[in-house]
Structure 1
Amino acid sequence: MQMSANETNHAAEFSPVFLSAFGFAQLCSWGTLYYAFPQMAVAMGAEFGWAKSEIYAALTIGLLMSALVSVPVGAAIDKGYGRSIMTGGSVLAGILFFAWSQTQSQLWFYVAFGGIGCLQAAVLYNASFAVVARHCDTSKTRDYVTTLTLWGGFASTVFIPLIEYLMGYFDWRQVLMALGLVNILVCAGIYCFLPRAGAACTGKTPSPEETMPKTAPAWALRQPVFWALLVCFVLYGAMETSFRFHLYPLLGENGLSSENAVFILALFGPAQVAGRAFMKIFQTRSIASVGIFVASVFPLALVAFALFPQSFPVLVAAAIAYEAATGIMTIVMGLSVPELLSRTSYGAINGMLNTPALMSKAFAPAIAALVWSSSGSYAGLLYGLAAVSATMMLAFLAAIFISNRNSITNKAPA
């Protein structure tokens, strides 16, 4: 929300206790709304006999719905309604988990999970980052974003075994009800303490430049740096979901035992957290330099998977490097808008970037499957994803170059 120069501002500063609680709520939101799906899919397939493609169509629907509401959700958070959106979103998510648990038909399932997809845009990282950008002093943004992602990085580590444990004692419908209660009692119970709508968005009086129309989303659409970031976000989304959803069968195709494959997959959560922990150490480094380094890791890791498909030590090292880079990339993408484009209208601009990125995530795994079918192996797909990641890195470099050039131009005397 834009504020006039004569308004008095008092930026919100989260206490360590509340920041930890906020992070824990993000852990629970991610663990329920995102990571619970594969285990529920297996249980539902066993009960209904639906094909995997029919069940996973719900995931595509959810991602598309999340993409469609990203911009209006971000714009509402920019206006100061983050607390209402995240609290209400968690309550609605809980209700939809109860609705999901009553599934008797595919249509009911698709409607329920489509609604959950909408609420992913209201409570996961993009929403929480927008709340931080809207209400907190810019000097705190990187630290808060990094802390939230550190908590969120443990979501799969905590909830996948927790859900597996619960499934040993209850059926999947009862487990979904329990996950719904987590959203209502835990997540909403914490998000309701976020800054209220009237809280200020900065810790200082805005400069004349910050109150200019150029900070509006319409201005962002006219900036080359926006389009460079858009290409980067879309390619990253396509690469990340294609690799993640095809890694297990890829490892099996290469002759790895299921135990070794599961071991590599189990490294993902800790590797992401380790990468984000390093962000705490290198807080003095600019997001631009961190992003360049991280983006360069992806093609190297993917090529390693292709060149050494049966070398377990190499695959372990490549998986750790890839996931540590993924963990850091979440932070880089979250901070790219304020550091490279605009420090205001964060929610709306970030939503415009993430809408096509989420769409690419929705369709990329199916396209990757077609690539595998046409080539007969995953080697071709890996080299293709390496090329995609290299192009993503070039797009990010272009965004940095354009942003720096614009900064110099803006500082030049009239």
Structure 2
Amino acid sequence: MNTIKVPAGIVSALGVTQIIGYGTLYYSFSILAPGMARDLGISLEQVFAVFSVSLFIGGLSAPIIGRHMDRIGAATMMTLGSALAALTLALCAWSPSVAVFALAIVLLEVSSGMVQYQAAFATLVESSPRTASRSITYLTLIGGFASTIFWPIAATLTGYLSWREIYLVFAVLNLLVCMPLHYWIMRVGRAGSKLDATRTREVVVGALAPQDRRRGMLLVSFAFSLSGFTLAAILAHMVPMLGAIGVGGAAVVIGSLFGPAQVMSRLVNMVFGKSLSPPALAIVSAGLMVLGVLILGLSGDWLPGALAFAICLGLGSGINSIAQGSLPLYLFGSAGYGAITGRMAAARLAVGAAAPFVFAMAMENLGIATALLVNALLGTLGIAAFVAVAVSTRRAARPE
């Protein structure tokens, strides 16, 4: 049977735009936040409060963005998103007041939903549904270098430029690098559609029967939300939390293992993960993150335990990104993929936005070890939801 393969150029181009998109719109914020606070005359906590609100509003916009991706094409949405990202970065750099700054950060998160993984995965599904799961693995492998590249870039630039000038540089990257690449992908897709006009459009049929999809959607959204909470809560406090536990100066080194572990998990999955179904991948991902949190909660200031925690969390997080793209395709098929992933992203991002604050309160009132164990318990509920989804797909596949 002939299979249409996604050109390597599209995956590579999306990889470049994901590195820039996540680097400029997400990872660099924590590096630039102290400068923002000083310049605007507000506390660092207030800057991060604005960021948390923007993440929440960005999550609410995800279903709308997803529906429009299905209507006009994901690559078209990414092209528009790059333009909006550049404009809002420039608006943020210009912002004369806290109110304008807050508005710009909110718009920045909306544009993020138009250019980051949700939209990139939908672009790959539109290009070739049957090879999209494999392409998503390749893409996340490339995108995993965003923090590794942009944390040092942002930190180095702060020695020469103000945060406003850095955001202008980032605006130029989105406008002159990402937007042309997204536009090229859009043109390639339209040209392919015209060439294949006489051929029936390739589709992937979901593993869940129509009557089971509503329950499946609720379970998967619930599971990804809890896994997202587990991860977001830890990442927001990782280095200071490790320091408070008592690992001393090794906290930064231990935290730095998270990024390489993410990339390693994606590389291992790319080479050896062909036999794992997307539901199994999601279970492994959630299990690794919970295992990491449990190890840290039980081992305290034991250095090998802290190292195992960072590695397990990174491995789980790396696979989680793949599962977010491949599991919805596996369960629900390629039809309406943008709207489906948009609804799922809304729940995940909304819960994730509250996670840093909730976990900080838990650490303050319950202690770090208890807060970690409660977080692991929530993640375990997510694992159970993923297991329920896996069981339902096996039941649907079983002949009557």
TM-score (normalizing by structure 1): 0.88
Task: Determine which of 118, 127, 150 is the counterpart of 1:159.
Answer: 150
**Alignment check: 8 A CA contact 1:96 1:112 kept:** yes
Q: 1:96 to 1:11 in 2, by over 3 A?
A: farther
Inter-CA distance 249–108: structure 2 relative to 1 (3 Å threshold): same
For 1:262, which of 234, 243, 252 is the aligned residue? 252
Of residues 229, 232, 245, the one that matches 1:241 is 232
Write the deviation string for residues 234-281 of structure 1: whole angstroms up to 9, x where unpaired: 111211111111222211211222x41111221121110000001111
| 1:121 Cα deviation from its structure 2 partner | 0.7
Going from structure 1 to structure 2, the CA distance change for 1:71 and 1:306 (only over 3 Å counts) comes to same
Alignment deviations for residues 178-232 of structure 1 (CA, whole Å, 9 cap, x no partner): 0111111111121111144755599974699959xx87xxx78x62111110110
Which position in structure 1 is the counterpart of 2:37? 45
- 1:142-181 matched pairs, under 5 angstroms: 142-181=133-172
1:131-280 mapped onto 2 (5 Å cutoff): 131-138=123-130, 140-196=131-187, 198=190, 200=193, 205=200, 223-257=214-248, 259-280=249-270
Q: CA deviation at 1:40?
A: 1.6
Aligned residue pairs, count: 392
Whether 1:104 and 2:96 are equivalent positions in the alignment is: yes
Summarize the Cα distance change of 1:44–1:339 in structure 2 as closer, same or farther, 3 Å threshold: same
The verdict on how the C-alpha distance between 1:208 and 1:378 changes in structure 2, with shifts beyond 3 A counting, is: closer
Aligned to 2:365: 374
Distance 1:93 1:209 in 2: 32
CA contact (8 A) 2:79 2:182 kept: yes
CA contact (8 A) 2:82 2:115 kept: yes
8 Å contact 1:272–1:325 — kept in the other structure?
yes
**Match for residue 63 of structure 1?**
55
Task: Report how far residue 396 of structure 1 moved.
Answer: 0.3
Worse overlay, 43-52 or 186-195: 43-52
In the other structure, the counterpart of 1:402 is 392
> Where does structure 1 differ by over 6 angstroms across 4 or more consecutive aligned residues?
201-204, 206-209
Residue 310 of structure 1 aligns to a residue whose secondary structure is coil
Q: Report the Cα distance in structure 2 between the residues aligned to 1:207 and 1:52, rounded to whole angstroms.
A: 50
Q: Do the aligned partners of residues 326 and 11 (structure 1) sit closer, same or farther apart at CA in structure 2, a change above 3 Å counting?
A: same
> Could you tell me how far apart the structure 2 residues matched to 1:398 and 1:206 are?
32
CA contact (8 A) 2:75 2:119 kept: no
Decide whether the 8 Å contact of 1:127 with 1:347 is kept in 2.
Answer: yes
Displacement of 1:11 in angstroms is 8.4
Cα deviation 1:58-106 (Å, max 9, x = unaligned): 2122212221221121122223422221111111111111111112321
Select the residue among 343, 352, 374 that pairs with 2:334: 343
Taking a change above 3 Å as real, the CA distance of residues 122 and 11 of structure 1, as seen in their structure-2 partners, is farther
1:359 partnered with 2:350 = yes
Q: Distance in 1 between matches of 2:368 and 2:336?
A: 41
Provide the rounded CA distance (Å) in 2 between the counterparts of 1:372 and 1:383: 11
Distance (Å, rounded) in 1 between the aligned partners of 2:384 and 2:343 = 21
The aligned residue for residue 386 of structure 1 is 376
The DSSP-based 3-state class of the residue aligned with 2:125 is helix
Render the CA deviation track for 1:131-178: whole Å, top value 9, x for unaligned: 11122141x112210111111110010001011111111111111100
SS at 1:393's partner residue?
helix
CA contact (8 A) 1:287 1:335 kept: yes
Q: Tell me, in whole angstroms, the C-alpha distance in 1 between the residues paired with 2:304 and 2:113.
A: 37
Cα distance in 2 between the residues matched to 1:136 and 1:195: 14
| Structure 2 equivalent of residue 90 of structure 1 | 82
CA contact (8 A) 2:219 2:386 kept: yes
Code of the residue aligned with 1:278 in structure 2: it is V
In 1, distance between residues paired with 2:269 and 2:3? Answer: 24
Written as runs of structure 1 = structure 2, the 5 A alignment for 1:13-32 is 13-32=5-24
Distance 2:218 2:40 in 1: 44
- Which of 282, 285, 289 aligns to 1:298? It is 289
Q: Distance in 2 between matches of 1:154 and 1:326?
A: 13
- Rounded Cα–Cα distance in structure 2 between residues aligned with 1:208 and 1:327: 27
Checking the alignment, whether the CA contact within 8 Å between 1:82 and 1:194 is kept in structure 2 is no
Residue 111 of structure 1 aligns with an amino acid whose one-letter code is L
TM-score normalized by the length of structure 2: 0.91
Tell me how large the CA RMSD over aligned residues is: 2.5
Q: Offset at 1:286?
A: 1.5
- Distance in 2 (CA, whole Å) between partners of 1:44 and 1:150 is 31
**Alpha-carbon distance between aligned partners in 2 of 1:17 and 1:208, rounded to the nearest angstrom:** 22
Structure 1 CA distance for aligned equivalents of residues 12 and 34 of structure 2: 33
Residue type at the aligned position of 1:366: F
Whole-angstrom CA distance in 1 between matches of 2:321 and 2:47: 27
Please state whether the residue corresponding to 1:27 is helix, strand or coil.
helix
Q: Provide the secondary structure at the position in 1 that maps to 2:185.
A: coil
Q: What's the CA shift for 1:298? A: 2.1
Q: 1:75 aligns with which of 67, 87, 90?
A: 67
Whether contact under 8 Å (1:61, 1:110) holds in the other structure is: no
What percent identity do the matched residue pairs reach? 27
